[in-house]
Amino acid sequence: MWTWYASRAAGLVVLVLLTTTLLLGISGVARAATTRWPRFALGRLHRNVSLLAIVFLAVHVATAVLDGYVPIRWLDVVLPFTSAYEPFWLGLGAVAFDLLAALVVTSLLRARLGLRAWKAVHMTAYACWPLAVAHGLGIGGADSTTGWVLVLTLGCVAAATAGLLWRALIWSDDSREPTR
């Protein structure tokens, strides 16, 4: 039974950490660094929060598979839409997991890939995040509609939406010179 609670808790922590990672990535792209937060510090914070998200994702996945209450196999984690349990919602989580794995691998190989290839794969973060949110809302059952869980999820969605709108506004203003 503890694995069920650990999986749910880790999933919510991953949501907050991935939202934070998304916002830090947007801030880095938007050149939001200041003298107080130089660009290298923003980049390191983005990387470290990303790594912490991966750790909690591993806990989320491992405890969900090991729990045994529902039939989730290790293969279901990486092969989308094949699970006997909630194939669509778990499949969305598997797609998000696969995209995140591609982000991690290409980030580790960034120096060998080149900036253009790395950026192309890194743009999948904008697909990974909403897939993960949809996975959490769909597979969460009664948990996802619990007041505080819903507030946390909607807060993350609002923060990510605000960040994406900010990025779109900065990019649409051709006359604005990015801050260095």
pLDDT at res. 180: 45
Give the helix ranges, DSSP H, for the chain.
Answer: 2-29, 39-67, 74-78, 87-108, 110-113, 115-122, 125-139, 147-172
Predicted pLDDT at 177: 52
Which residues does 155 contact at the CB level (< 8 Å), separation at least 6? none
Q: Position 118: which residue type? A: W
Res 131 pLDDT > 50: yes
Burial of 175 (0-12, 13-18, 19+ CB in 10 A): exposed
**Token pair belonging to 4:** 């069920």
14: left (phi over 0), alpha (psi -120 to 50) or beta: alpha
pLDDT tier for residue 174 given thresholds of 50, 70 and 90: very low
Confidence check: pLDDT of 119 > 60: yes
The DSSP output letter for 178 is P
**Confidence grade of residue 173 (pLDDT, cut at 50, 70, 90):** low
Q: Average pLDDT in the 98-104 region?
A: 94
Segment 52-80, tens digit of pLDDT? 999 999 999 999 999 988 899 999 999 99
Q: pLDDT value at position 134?
A: 95
